[in-house]
A and B are shown apart, each in its own frame.
Chain A
Amino acid sequence: MTYFRAVDPFPLESADHTKLHEFYSHLASGRLVTTRCLDCRTTAWPPRGFCGECTSDRFEWVDLPGEGTIHAFTVQETGLPAGFDGRRVFAIVKVDVHRVFAVLVDADPLQLRIGQRVRLAPLRVADDPKGNARWLPAFTPT
């Protein structure tokens, strides 16, 4: 047996694996959605399967705006995990009243500033072990 690494850094996004699969299927079609509690009407980010406010487990999916503003960002140049390359721009994006953690793609780090507008640009990552496409939320400057 040769040395090997057995780890998958991405979520398993399909209905076989997560109650939140609709988040990812909507994301694949370019929509950013999250959960709203059917009992207390709290809208959460990220989406949840249990309401920490009222203990409900009944939710509906609601759309978030496809645009937001940069709240904070940093550019990681070195020291990234295996499988990830620098430069990588990590940001907190204000979307409506929510703060969304994501990467910024197609962004020149020198041109970025806090308060700048960005739009959703879903990022396709490695397929899952069964060959299903996987997506993560990402943003790009407008």
Chain B
Amino acid sequence: MRGVALVGAGVSKFGVRKASYRDLIWEAGKVCFDSIPGVKPKDVEGLVVGSVMPERTAFQSHISSLAAEALGIKPSALSARTEHMCASGTVGIRYAYAFIAAGLADLVMVLGVEKLNQPTGEEAILNMSAGVDREWEAAFGLTAPPCFALAAQRHMAEFGTTEEQLALVGVKNHNHAAKNPNAHFSKGATLDQVLGSRMIATPLRLFMCSPITDGAAAVILASEDRARELTDKPVWIRGTGQALDGFQLTSLHEDYAHWPALKRAARTAYAMAGVGPHEVDVAEVHDCFAIAELIAYEELGFCHKGEAGPFAAAGRSDYGGDVVVNPRGGLIGCGHPLGATGVAQAAEIFVQLRDAAGGRQAPGAAIGLTHNNSGMGEHVVMIYGRERA
């Protein structure tokens, strides 16, 4: 297979935006093209758009063509939309990667976009219920928070993980977001604020949860030769893995404190990249809820099973620790515009591995990892490197 690298990346402002679906596409496309002056829309051969529910939130299908036209791209090799709930963006990156590695295209943009906020908050949440099984789960009023709350309950019962350890993930990611001008939240948070925020689903409080966010992000992937022509600092895709245990809650591993699909996806990606967990300098993990970040530390191999709470509390997932996790603020601090999240994670690793992340820079970062999930049993892992191999 041919080598593939990220050569450009950009992210819109995330938040409760006074902006249309198309406005968000324009914003992310603009900053992405601005990041790589040698690439114009006419040069882009393919576009993959990760977007989950524009049919409900913008009453719009036919998304990849809409986005291509909005950005002046006339695809000649690939045009597609990916929908894989919260992992749609990274699933799109995998498609673009495979297309380029196989020699079917040389330059492909992956864009993620979501306009989730609606005139009423409860309708936005109702829309989110489309992401779980309608007949067997969503009909009960289920959305993501209680699912991950069940995992937190199990992790606390089994390993003694505490509410304070969960809260410290919220503190870290809110404080990271305060250094990211594109993040949904900008004020940071103290432990008392997180522990005092309102209860969503026991034990998960508001500041341990990602908010309902509008936003878009874009990256441009290039073949090895094209990447070297375009930039001195390509960020190479070194490995990728995806694995699923199941869709419905009752199909997953019996104990929700264990996410074997993430372990499998990570093993595939590490093997392909030829690196191990302790070589990862910076990671964007899917902290849709604080418990997800803790379980990700364990299944990604950053710490042993059951030890994520103390690992977080000791600062080992922050600057100065073993690995900087979620420097842009994660989903908790940046927000979670579903289809845009995986692409925004890649955009963060792009700037981190180019030593261009400013006040968020993980010093000397050479290996980066992204982890995107669409439920506790469905995971995608990407590994990026400053060097080709």
Q: Please indicate which of the listed interface residues A75, A79, A80, A88 has the most CB atoms of chain B within 10 Å of its own CB.
A: A79
**Are the C-beta atoms of A11 and B149 separated by less than 8 Å?**
no
Q: Does A114 contact B (CB under 8 A)?
A: yes
Q: Which residues of A contact B143 (CB under 8 A)?
A: 79-81
User: How far does the alpha carbon of A90 sit from the alpha carbon of B135 in the complex, in Å?
Assistant: 15
A-B contact pairs, 22 of them (CB 8 A): A5-B123, A9-B126, A18-B135, A46-B248, A72-B154, A76-B149, A76-B200, A81-B125, A81-B126, A81-B129, A81-B141, A82-B120, A82-B122, A84-B141, A88-B146, A90-B140, A90-B142, A90-B146, A92-B249, A98-B250, A101-B140, A114-B157
Q: Does A131 contact B (CB under 8 A)?
A: no
- Which residues in window 307-326 of B have CB below 8 A to A? none
**Are the C-beta atoms of B254 and A99 separated by less than 8 Å?**
yes
Q: Which residues of A contact B141 (CB under 8 A)?
A: 9, 76, 80-81, 83-84, 88, 103
Q: Which residues of B contact A90 (CB under 8 A)?
A: 140, 142, 146, 150, 201
For the complex, count residues of A whose C-beta is within 8 A of B.
36
Q: Which residues of A contact B135 (CB under 8 A)?
A: 11, 18, 46
A-contact 0/1 string along B117-130, CB 8 Å cutoff: 00110110110110
From A5, A74, A99, A114, contact of B146 by CB (8 A): A74
From A5, A11, A18, A98, contact of B139 by CB (8 A): A11
User: How far does the alpha carbon of A104 sit from the alpha carbon of B126 in the complex, in Å?
Assistant: 20
User: How far does the alpha carbon of A102 sit from the alpha carbon of B140 in the complex, in Å?
Assistant: 7
**Are the C-beta atoms of A125 and B201 separated by less than 8 Å?**
no
Q: Does B137 contact A (CB under 8 A)?
A: yes
A-contact 0/1 string along B245-266, CB 8 Å cutoff: 0001110001010000000000
Q: Does A45 contact B (CB under 8 A)?
A: yes
Whose C-beta in chain A lies nearest to the C-beta of B212?
Answer: A79
**Are the C-beta atoms of A75 and B250 separated by less than 8 Å?**
no
Q: Which residues of B contact A92 (CB under 8 A)?
A: 150, 249-250
Q: Which residues of A contact B122 (CB under 8 A)?
A: 80-83
Q: Which residues of B contact A78 (CB under 8 A)?
A: 198-200
Q: Does A77 contact B (CB under 8 A)?
A: yes
Whose C-beta in chain B lies nearest to the C-beta of A109?
Answer: B202
**Are the C-beta atoms of B119 and A3 separated by less than 8 Å?**
yes
User: How far does the alpha carbon of A18 sit from the alpha carbon of B139 in the complex, in Å?
Assistant: 15
Q: Which residues of A contact B248 (CB under 8 A)?
A: 46, 101
User: How far does the alpha carbon of A9 sit from the alpha carbon of B142 in the complex, in Å?
Assistant: 10
**Chain A interface (Cβ < 8 Å from any Cβ of B):** 3, 5, 7, 9-11, 18, 45-46, 71-84, 88, 90, 92, 98-103, 109, 114, 125, 136
User: How far does the alpha carbon of A10 sit from the alpha carbon of B135 in the complex, in Å?
Assistant: 7
Interchain pairs with CB closer than 8 A, number: 104
Distance from A96 Cβ to chain B, minimum over Cβ atoms (Å): 13
Distance from B201 Cβ to chain A, minimum over Cβ atoms (Å): 4
From A7, A77, A88, A101, contact of B136 by CB (8 A): A101
From B140, B200, B250, contact of A99 by CB (8 A): B250
A76-B145, A76-B200 known; A101-B139 Cβ under 8 A: no
Whose C-beta in chain B lies nearest to the C-beta of A71?
Answer: B254
Q: Which residues of B contact A76 (CB under 8 A)?
A: 141, 145-146, 149, 200-201
A46-B248, A46-B250, A101-B137 known; A74-B149 Cβ under 8 A: yes
Q: Which residues of B contact A99 (CB under 8 A)?
A: 249-250, 254
User: How far does the alpha carbon of A73 sit from the alpha carbon of B200 in the complex, in Å?
Assistant: 14
Distance from A131 Cβ to chain B, minimum over Cβ atoms (Å): 18
User: How far does the alpha carbon of A88 sit from the alpha carbon of B200 in the complex, in Å?
Assistant: 11
**Are the C-beta atoms of A83 and B250 separated by less than 8 Å?**
no
Given A75-B201, A99-B249, A109-B202, 10 more pairs with CB closer than 8 A:
A7-B56, A9-B129, A9-B134, A45-B250, A81-B143, A92-B249, A100-B250, A101-B136, A125-B139, A136-B139
**Are the C-beta atoms of A9 and B250 separated by less than 8 Å?**
no
User: How far does the alpha carbon of A76 sit from the alpha carbon of B153 in the complex, in Å?
Assistant: 13
Q: Please indicate which of the listed interface residues B119, B137, B140, B254 has the most CB atoms of chain A within 10 Å of its own CB.
A: B140
Distance from B128 Cβ to chain A, minimum over Cβ atoms (Å): 7
Distance from B117 Cβ to chain A, minimum over Cβ atoms (Å): 14
Q: Does B16 contact A (CB under 8 A)?
A: no
From A77, A98, A136, contact of B140 by CB (8 A): A136
